[in-house]
Homo-oligomer: A and B are copies of this chain.
Amino acid sequence: MCELLGMSANVPTDICFSFKGLKERGGRTGPHKDGWGVAFYENKGVCTFKDALPSYQSEIARLVSDYPIKSCAVIAHVRQANRGRVALENTHPFSRELWGRYWTYAHNGQLSDYQQLPVDRFTPVGTTDSERAFCYLLSALDKRYPDKPPSRKVAFKFIQRQCKTLQKLGVFNMLLTDGEYLLTYCSTKLHWITRRAPFGMARLSDVDVDIDFSRETTPDDVVTIIATEPLTNNEQWHQMQSGESQLFRYGEALA
């Protein structure tokens, strides 16, 4: 399987601390050694770093964990291959443009009969079940709203419903963002935490690193971190239930 990491924030925030934890699971404290990737949004633009190497050995991952790239929406993934060989084209996250925005997605799980999922406008480049499911979601969205949906929130609500269909094919934990909204879907395992004032200390589970968020933030900051497994061992994470989905925008969970 794989591990997911996401961030939604109301001010550009770096993900160095959380990524340091995730990166260790990419081959050292976890078995996810078959590539990794992370996508950072800056307004409508997105920059994605990817590597088919284990993240704990990757020079690029080292840069990402040390160099504070500030963003309001981030999706990261470490991979343990099941469907699709170890290759850059099978490395998450995946991105596509629709309606003049980049949509970025990562998946944890395994699907059966995924080759039957109809894709139309969006074609997979690699051979994973994950990318096929992403192309299915965006193709379905484009088909449902050929002239754009009334709002992006409506688009995300539509995707939430499609995720229920995908869950029937197997394990489908997912993160999807357009740089402003970030959608989570839990089929078996996904946790999130929202940090806001008063900020405190946090300690990573996978490596001996502490952070005092009160030194790194302003009182108005709201930052949500989503991860397959909690990344810290001294904070209370919200555990999502099977079939539960949650939409975030600028750090806040939306109703």
Contact = CB atoms under 8 A, between A and B. Distances in A.
Given A45-B87, A45-B91, A87-B42, A63 B52 contact: no
A45 B99 contact: no
A43 interface: yes
Contacts of A50: 45, 47
A125 B88 CA distance: 24
A51 interface: yes
Interface stretch (A3-11, A116-124, A186-194, A201-209): A116-124
Interface string A177-191: 000000000000000
A125 B45 contact: yes
Contacts of A97: 96, 122-123, 125
A237 B41 CA distance: 38
Copies in the complex: 2
Size class of the contact patch on chain A: 20 to 34
A152 to B, nearest CB: 14
A48 B45 contact: no
Given A60-B63, A67-B59, A67-B60, A45 B88 contact: yes
Of A44, A45, A48, chain B has the most CB atoms within 10 Å of the CB of: A45
